[in-house]
Chain A
């Protein structure tokens, strides 16, 4: 009796296993084929000198990595990436938070504004960038507007600092709506009673925001900052359309540099080594944020 039951249960368990594995198989296979295998292959390519035109593929060991250490172009690209990421993360997160707080008020018209700020997120990236490239021309819309208020605008995309600022702003306006919605959802999850209690205790608006709202939305801040940091390191299309990495090499960020090495100079081996570096940087930054969460992320929601 008991053996039959045991056998029956082991058959059932095996069936459960089979069903379970079948369910996860597509995801696991997808991850293996499109993530793990290419990742390993990139690491493998990065140890080779690969000449596409001549069709040669020679093992060179760590030569590509040694070359990275001595490459001034790579140093410039890292610096450009650093500036871009700092500018983007600071501006994007603070603007998204301010917008979310403003739209969290129960005022007429908030739905319209929410739509207004979110709509760029669903616009095609390249179309968005091309429109901005017209606006940023020396005789374009932005300088036309500035002229109206009596300011002579610069030739945005031809100055090193202004080109970087223009890129950051274009990218922030494209994506700020998504972060804003995430913050807005978090803000609406903050219990009203806590605010009410604090108000009764005589806490002002700023105090309540700092001591109640911020801690309670901190998990979302962590999520948003991870997404934004990773996204900022992978910017490509805007740079390709707006500046082509110039003027000089001021907006040649790491991904764009990688693209140039691979698809313009046909240095596929070296480009693979750079993409390994990019992977390590993103991984390190993400781990750093994840590890630091205990210090500032409030989990008892």
Chain B
């Protein structure tokens, strides 16, 4: 780095903070409900931040938005979809808020849902959605909306309910003469131990990696929730007040994971990057929406998450769309959201994002939109996956917890780690943050 003089650096940070004065001067407690939009004197521009950069998805959003603009030219002159890279998504979003430059609408990650919902930064959408003709608000699955509610209010529309599943590279697995995971699913033998053994043997045969928990990278530990589910383990209790890293289920689950990495060679160790979709690994746990990254360079299959000692647990990752009260036109933004997610458009969005609407959550609807998956895969993995599922860990103090737990778990990712001791340290560090 070219050395800079400190006052400038401090000033740089300050400049970011500085622009926010206008916001703070006028911002109120928020959390108010939005109502019927009054026609603004000039049509407004709306902006929605998203974390997808997929051209076809963005084109579809734009098409839906253009139809809205055509229908409401007096309200809106255009809708912009602004891509923020996934890695920095929430940070960039809060920086925009701090800078007094709140987007009108934003995608929100489920981990941060309680923080956003409780803060009052988002508008209550229920009145608008309930009053929109033909919206069929009661079609939304309660399991989908639970995370986004506070009392009677609904603060975001859970547009994406993507189940985690196991993608497998059947070319590599059959080359290593291992059993086909799909057959194990059929015979009820699809367990984490079976997956680990297949992964280890396949990695040894192919010289590549075995099982990758995608996006975990020994940093974003909440993605391990997909594995913990099989043990019935959770990082904290239901109401988020008590650390449960030291519970026996969690100790067993983490011991299994640790040994799969360091003893069995089934999971690539820290610092090793392997991309399943580039053919670098035998299997990967990731969201079903990633199916679009697959090409025909190898044979693959997708199966539900394996069962652990506590049985099989479906896990979903959610994304919500919320309307910021600090935006310039929350009423118009909420009206647009009601359009963007009405039954007709929700069916279009279902092409990429498993919908929260019960009526759309059928293998037939999803099949039309997901040519890469067959009806059985869709029924087994997506439709069944969303029912009775749990979401990844979320907490109103998530950012601090994520960082603290990450730092403590670093001690676990070495060969000679004492799992129980590390988890005890983790709870000691996390408990004060849970109580805040």
Q: Which residues of A contact B (CB under 8 A)?
A: 34-35, 37-39, 41-42, 45, 50-57, 121, 125, 136-139, 155, 157-158, 171, 174-175, 178, 227-228, 230-231, 233-238, 244-249, 255, 258, 260, 262-266, 268, 271-272, 275, 278-279, 282-283
Contact = CB atoms under 8 A, between A and B. Distances in A.
6 contacts: A41-B17, A42-B13, A53-B119, A249-B407, A265-B399, A272-B17
Given A35-B7, A38-B18, A55 B115 contact: no
Nearest to A285: B6
A235 B6 CA distance: 11
A121 B2 CA distance: 8
B293 interface: no
Contacts of A262: 13, 17
Given A157-B271, A245-B407, A249-B407, A53 B116 contact: yes
Contact of A55 (B269, B326, B411, B413): B326
Given A138-B269, A264-B403, A39 B7 contact: yes
Contacts, number: 161
Interface residues of B, number: 53
Contacts of A158: 218, 270-271, 410, 413-414
B28 interface: yes
A137 B399 contact: no
Given A52-B98, A54-B29, A38 B11 contact: yes
Given A55-B29, A171-B1, A283-B6, A258 B13 contact: yes
A264 B407 contact: no
Given A53-B120, A54-B121, A262-B13, 4 more contacts: A50-B24, A230-B6, A246-B410, A255-B9
Given A54-B119, A275-B13, A234 B6 contact: yes
A249 to B, nearest CB: 5
Interface in B132-156: none
A260 B403 contact: yes
A234 B94 CA distance: 23
B368 interface: no
A247 to B, nearest CB: 4
Nearest to A229: B3
A137 B400 contact: no
A254 B134 CA distance: 54
A248 B410 contact: yes
B41 interface: no
A137 B274 CA distance: 12
A265 B400 contact: yes
